[in-house]
Structures are given as C-alpha cells and as structure tokens.
Amino acid sequence: MEDNKTVNRPTAVKLLGIIFDYLTKIASERSVDKILRLIADFGRDVVSADRCTVWLLDEKKDILWTRVAHGVDRIEISRNNGIAGEVATTGEPLIINDPYSDPRFDKEVDKKTGYTTYGIIALPIRDSDGNMIGVVQVLNSLTPLKKFTKKDQQHLMLAASYAGNQLEAVMLQEEMENTQREIIFTLAETGEMRSKETGNHVKRVAEYSRILAELYGLSETEALLLKTASPLHDIGKIAIPDSILLKNGPLNDEERKIMMGHTTLGYEMLKHSDRKTLKAAAAIALHHHEKWDGSGYPNGLKGDEINLYGRITAIGDVFDALACPRVYKPAWEKKRVIETFRKDSGTHFDPVLTKLFLDNFEQFWKVHNTLSDNR
C-alpha cells in the first residue's frame, strides 16, 4: 500500500555524503547479490524514494527479472512489458508521476505485490561498452510534493552509471568463478564415477562442508571456497589401478597401501596451483583421512595439525558414506549414524566440529534426502 510518510530531499551536503558512502560500499563488494542490494538502497536514498527495484536483462529469454527488489521476491517480466521494459527496449530514461494513466504501465505487478505505485523513475544500466544490462527503477517519491523531478533523474543517473561499471566487473568475476566450480564438479564427478561412487556424492559432501563451515563460524566467502574445493577430496583415486579401485572383496595389505596413496596423489596433482580453490583442494585431498587422535593417514597428524578444511570434509565424507547405500553395504539408519559420530568424536573426528554436526544433524539429513540418488 502507499506509504504516507514524507521526507525532505537531501541537502547538497547530505547528498554528497550518501553518494560517497555508497560508492565506497559498492567498490569493496564482490558479491552480485550484495551489489544489487546496495544499488537498490543507493537509488532509493539518493532520490528519497519509497522503493527501488533493480532489473537485470536476460537477452536470451528476452526478459527482465529482479534478483533484488525492496518489498518483493523475484519477479520476471517480458522485456516488452511495463515501464522497465520500455526503458530496456528504448534505452531512454523515463519519469512518470501518474503511472495509472500511462498505457505503458503494467498494473499486474502492483496486483501481485499489493503495492500502489504513484510515481516512477526508470533508467537504463549499461556496461562499459554501452550495452544494456538492466534497469534501475525507483518508486514513489516520499517528498512533500510526492513527485519526481529532472534533478532526481540526474541524481539517479549518477548512481546507475557508476553501479553499471561495478556490476559488470563483479558479474564477470562471478561468471568466471561459476565456470571454475562447474569444471571442478565435473572433474570430481568423473573421478567418483570411475570408483563407482554414487552420482551425487560430491555434491552432497560439498553442501555438508559448506553448512558445517558456516556453523563453525567461517565467513560466507570461506564456506563457499570450501564448498567448491571439497569435491576434489578423492581426485587422487583416478591414479589408482582398476584392479585395486574396483576390486570385489577386501584388499590385501599391499593393495590397501596403494589405495591409501590416493591422498598424496591428489595433493601432488593440485599443490602447484596458486589459485585459492585448488590450494584448499590440495590440503583437503591430503588431510581428509587423518584422524583427530593421530591414527589416520597419510602422515598420522593429530588434532589441530590436521587442516581445518580436511577435518570438515572428513565429517561430510564419512557421513555420506554411512547414510547412503554402497555396493558393499546398505544405507545406515539415522540413529546408527548419530551413534557412530558420538562414539568417534575426539578419536576419528574433531570434537568441536562433531558437536556442531550432531547439534544440527537435521540440516545435514535434509541435504542427504534432497540430493538423494533415488530422486
């Protein structure tokens, strides 16, 4: 519904403060979602509006969609619809202070959200080459006049032009990171398929690792790094001979020794990279079979000598092995899995991480069910 509150337009000094504050925040942000939220806040505050919506253009689908909008969840519209669609098509800014009398205004969005729009400024967001990448749209001036002006448009244009350059750079970086993740998952899944592991094993372990990392207090960025790196924990198995890797029945001592070598083989494959993700993956590959009491392999490390990422991934890897069926055993029931982790806390597993895992067990069980190979 329309908000009756009113505010004065910011003074020149206050406006300058708003601009510098947001420019600093946007320049230091590396997340597309967070940058879009900052752009929305920036647009709203710089013109004293009630709401701001940031639409991104999907050229392939010929739609505009919001990943961030004040007061609404994700919405998709045709590029040919509404005020945002008009701006995306023509590339020209618009000020409309009586949208319900304008045939270009799409009333359906208001119907869906229960909101009443009485004023709009919509401007294109362009990349450094001048290509359209989206539209920023502010709604409902909160000034006593309750109308947007040309000066508001100029102020919003400043926000849109700067935001477009920053958004382009961060979206490119995100695309590169997403491509890297896809390559890592594909490589990891190829290795798992060779050893006849279940298809979603690496995806589940990755998600378990992310959740446990966040519960432990690692930042969102570090937890995502661990999620991306953990699928390569068993990559060294691609160098294990089929006669051992695929053997039906127990391994003899010599075969077991060769199999255990997958940890150092994975480490040797990955250790030469300077990329954060592959450096983390190298540590995980080497350490995920170490045990808290020093009885693990390959180096018999104890306690905090074991890399944190390796300790986290170890819990996810073992949990998945127990909770899912394997060629050599059926899936274990939830109660039996919990009892095993309680018993092995402080011997096999880091006791602090194990407690976090058990205290939040239903989160992990939900992932286990959601990414089940039977779905």
The residues carrying an active-site annotation are: 237
Largest CA distance in the chain: 84
* DSSP codes of every residue in 155-219: HHHHHHHHHHHHHHHHHHHHHHHHHHHHHHHHHHHHHHHHTT--TTHHHHHHHHHHHHHHHHT--
Determine the Cα angle at 186 with ends 185 and 189, to 5°.
80
Give me the numbers of helices (H) and strands (E) for the chain, helices first please: 15, 6
In which residue are the tokens 């749209």 written?
137
Question: Edge-to-edge strands of the sheet including 132-141?
Answer: 76-78, 63-69, 49-58, 132-141, 120-126, 94-96
The two three-digit tokens of residue 284, written as one number:
């995980």
E-strand stretches of the chain: 49-58, 63-69, 76-78, 94-96, 120-126, 132-141
The two three-digit tokens of residue 212, written as one number:
């446990």
Separation CA 81–CA 86 (nearest Å): 7
